[in-house]
Structure 1
Amino acid sequence: MKQTSSSLKDTISRIMKPESNVDTSQVKGNVSPEVKHALLSSLVQPSHALRSTGKPFRGFKAEFVSRMQLAEASVLSKAEEPEQLEGRTVFEVIVDEDMFNDFGTMHGGCLAMIIDICSSMPVYVLGASTSAYGVFGIQQSLNIVYHSPAVQGDKLRIVSTTLTLGSRACPGRCEVWNVTRHRLVASAVHTNMVPSKPKVSESAKL
């Protein structure tokens, strides 16, 4: 999953300038309203014109992201090592029929995409809260175990935490819980990478 330097700059620019109409009052957690604001703004997916047709387009990712609700954003002491901190985010989403596979349950690819989106959020939370500089990484690896199916109307709770926050690699965990049926839907271990700055060519220096 690669991201070009120009799109990365656009993303960071948009995160640093959150949407003014985003409401953080319903988001739990101990991080600042500014950090919560930035997370919610990252979910705003404006439409753009397709180069091929000129028609407005938001994409399938935007359709699912628009339904996700940020419930919590926190920085906490690790239970195993209280002197170490972890970023934690909790998102909620209702399963709908356009997320289905052929068997009428939530498609694993759809769930993987949601985990991919959510897993970068605690990386930003921890960085922005501890060093005043947060950045959304890009997924380097994602290992998912599917435990149980989810069907239409089920409410899912996606809990993501950081393991460590390195200069480049930021591993973490994610658990997807079915709030409606009180069972684990999926668990994941992932590694987000902070992209390196693009090298400046000799001609660009001149």
Structure 2
Amino acid sequence: MIPFTPEAATTALNLLRMVRFARDLHAAPVPEMMDPIPPLNKRGGRNLAPEGWASVYSVIITQDMCNPLDQLHGGAAATLIDTVNSASLAMLATEDFWGLPMLTGVTLTLDLAYYNACPAGTKAKLAVTIEHLGGSLCNLRGELSDWETGRRFVSGSQVKTWRDLGKAKL
């Protein structure tokens, strides 16, 4: 992995800023590391390595992300995984491949497993892996863990779909 390039970090953060709800939550992730962005293929998309494509963000868990027990709320964790997965996918988008107007597509499934409580003030690591990126389906995984110890808090598996609306038959 390499440090986020300024261009990739801007792309990811711009997507997070586009989300209209929970603005403080979406301002929290900080891009840290990423795999190099795969080159364009002949069809204008990107071919991933067999192990996928990965990126890492840091997130400080704040009070407004927590439940009354001062632990990360499950809904906040789900939102972080969903939107940070999408921000990572945006870095691989091109004009003709997972791009506008349906940038990063639409979530079909988001399956979460909660392992341990995550207290307010924790510096967490959100590791995203894009496991498969095809012409219309994408499989992603997000794992939220303690930055220092690696203790796992939440993992999420997500399937997204995308369609080139300019070429779609309505």
Q: How far 1:115 sits from its partner (Å)?
A: 0.4
User: Which of 55, 69, 72 matches 2:33?
Assistant: 72
User: Which of 193, 198, 205 matches 2:161?
Assistant: 193
Note if contact 2:97-2:135 (Cα within 8 Å) is conserved in structure 1.
no
Residues 140-176 of structure 1: per-residue CA shift (max 9 Å, x gap) = 1011110101111101110011111111110121111
Distance 1:133 1:43 in 2: 19
Distance 2:148 2:162 in 1: 35
1:143 matched residue in structure 2: 111
2:140 matched residue in structure 1: 172
Mark the CA change 1:37 to 1:134 in structure 2 (over 3 Å): closer, same or farther: farther
Note if contact 1:106-1:149 (Cα within 8 Å) is conserved in structure 2.
yes
Distance 2:87 2:141 in 1: 12
Asked if 1:44 is matched to 2:11, the reply is no
Mark the CA change 1:200 to 1:171 in structure 2 (over 3 Å): closer, same or farther: closer
C-alpha root-mean-square deviation of aligned residues, in Å?
3.0
In structure 1, what residue type is equivalent to 2:92?
A: L
Mark the CA change 1:85 to 1:124 in structure 2 (over 3 Å): closer, same or farther: farther
2:66 matched residue in structure 1: 100
Scaled by the length of structure 2, what TM-score is found?
A: 0.76
* Structure showing greater relative contact order (alpha-carbon pairs closer than 8 Å, 6 or more residues apart): 2
Q: How far 1:195 sits from its partner (Å)?
A: 3.6
Mark the CA change 1:95 to 1:101 in structure 2 (over 3 Å): closer, same or farther: same
**What secondary structure, in the 3-state scheme, does the structure 2 residue paired with 1:120 have?**
helix
Scaled by the length of structure 1, what TM-score is found?
A: 0.64
In structure 1, what residue type is equivalent to 2:31?
A: L
Q: How far 1:97 sits from its partner (Å)?
A: 1.4
**What secondary structure, in the 3-state scheme, does the structure 1 residue paired with 2:35 have?**
strand
Mark the CA change 1:133 to 1:33 in structure 2 (over 3 Å): closer, same or farther: farther
In structure 2, what residue type is equivalent to 1:119?
A: N
Distance 1:200 1:97 in 2: 46
Q: How far 1:103 sits from its partner (Å)?
A: 2.4
In structure 2, what residue type is equivalent to 1:115?
A: I
Larger radius of gyration: 1
Asked if 1:28 is matched to 2:10, the reply is no
**What secondary structure, in the 3-state scheme, does the structure 2 residue paired with 1:41 have?**
helix
Distance 1:87 1:72 in 2: 11
